[in-house]
Amino acid sequence: MSLILNIDTAVQTASVCLAQNDISIGMKMNPSPKDSAAWLHVAISELLSETGFTLREVDAIAVTEGPGSYTGLRVGMATAKGLCYILERPLIGVNTLLTMAYAALACGNEADLLCPMIDARRMEVFTAVFDRDLNTLLTPTNIILNELSFNELLQNRKTVFFGNGSAKFRDITTYKHASFADIEMTAEAMAPLSYKRLLERNFTNLAYSEPFYGKDFHSTAH
């Protein structure tokens, strides 16, 4: 049995999950999206206590590596790397959009293609496209949406769009094969993906790993 601590701070509602192999045995969600840094370490401690394990019993730590919230990604990655360094455990990075796609499958969505979207201001989104086997058809990237976006994909295949950026596309698309769903992603959706990487020994380099932001960070001057 492998025990994996899964950490997600990339999306609006941060969460942590403890999994035995690919099955979640406990999860904590942050009710407020603005204080992940203060919440995360307390949540991990409470989760371990509630499930009857200690940090030393954890075999690997997984974290959503992006894209997503700039601050959230930095908090999650820093926490995961710190724990891995102290515990001498491997670090597993999981793409946020892939995790969102897995969550859509777990919800029973029957679309041919899965297109998660994360809001990136104005008409821009972080997005990717996956088939039902989670093969990548569009590599995770950031795009500015218009009415012709995904034109080739939507000609003959039913595609579901979801995530907090999908409303932008819903307002402008006229494709009959496009559908939209409200799908919540939590760290529980990471469990099968991180376990697969553990079995493959597909680890992230602890010294050189950094979040995948998708584009350069821009701050607003005051």
In the chain, where are the structural domains located? 3-96+185-200, 108-180
Task: Write down the pLDDT at residue 222.
Answer: 37
CA angle 159, 7, 191 (to 5 degrees): 60
Better pLDDT: 55 or 214: 55
Residue 152 has pLDDT above 90, yes or no: no
Q: How many CA atoms lie within 13 A of 108 on its CB side?
A: 0
- Distance, CA of 222 to CA of 206 (rounded, Å): 36
If you average pLDDT over residues 173-183, what whole number do you get?
92
If you average pLDDT over residues 39-47, what whole number do you get?
96
If you average pLDDT over residues 174-188, what whole number do you get?
93
If you average pLDDT over residues 148-172, what whole number do you get?
91
If you average pLDDT over residues 91-118, what whole number do you get?
96
Better pLDDT: 10 or 214: 10
Angle between helices 70-87 and 36-51 (to 10 degrees): 40
CATH level 2 (architecture), domain 108-180: 2-Layer Sandwich (3.30)
Task: Write down the pLDDT at residue 99.
Answer: 97
Task: Write down the pLDDT at residue 33.
Answer: 64
Q: Residue 72: CB partners within 8 Å, gap ≥ 6?
A: 9, 10, 11, 14, 36
Is residue 19 within a helix (H) or strand (E), and if so which, with residue range? strand 15-20
Task: Read off the pLDDT band of 25 (50, 70, 90).
Answer: very high
Residue 123 has pLDDT above 90, yes or no: yes
- Give 3-96+185-200's CATH code, choosing from 3.30.420.40, 3.40.50.1370, 3.40.640.10, 3.50.50.60: 3.30.420.40
Residue 217 has pLDDT above 50, yes or no: no
If you average pLDDT over residues 67-91, what whole number do you get?
94
Task: Write down the pLDDT at residue 113.
Answer: 96
Task: Read off the pLDDT band of 215 (50, 70, 90).
Answer: low
Task: Read off the pLDDT band of 219 (50, 70, 90).
Answer: very low
Residue 47 has pLDDT above 70, yes or no: yes
Task: Read off the pLDDT band of 221 (50, 70, 90).
Answer: very low
The answer to whether the 3-96+185-200 and 108-180 domains have the same CATH topology is yes
If you average pLDDT over residues 90-117, what whole number do you get?
96
Q: What percentage of the chain reaches a pLDDT higher than 70?
A: 95
Residue 103 in contact with residue 111, Cβ under 8 Å? no
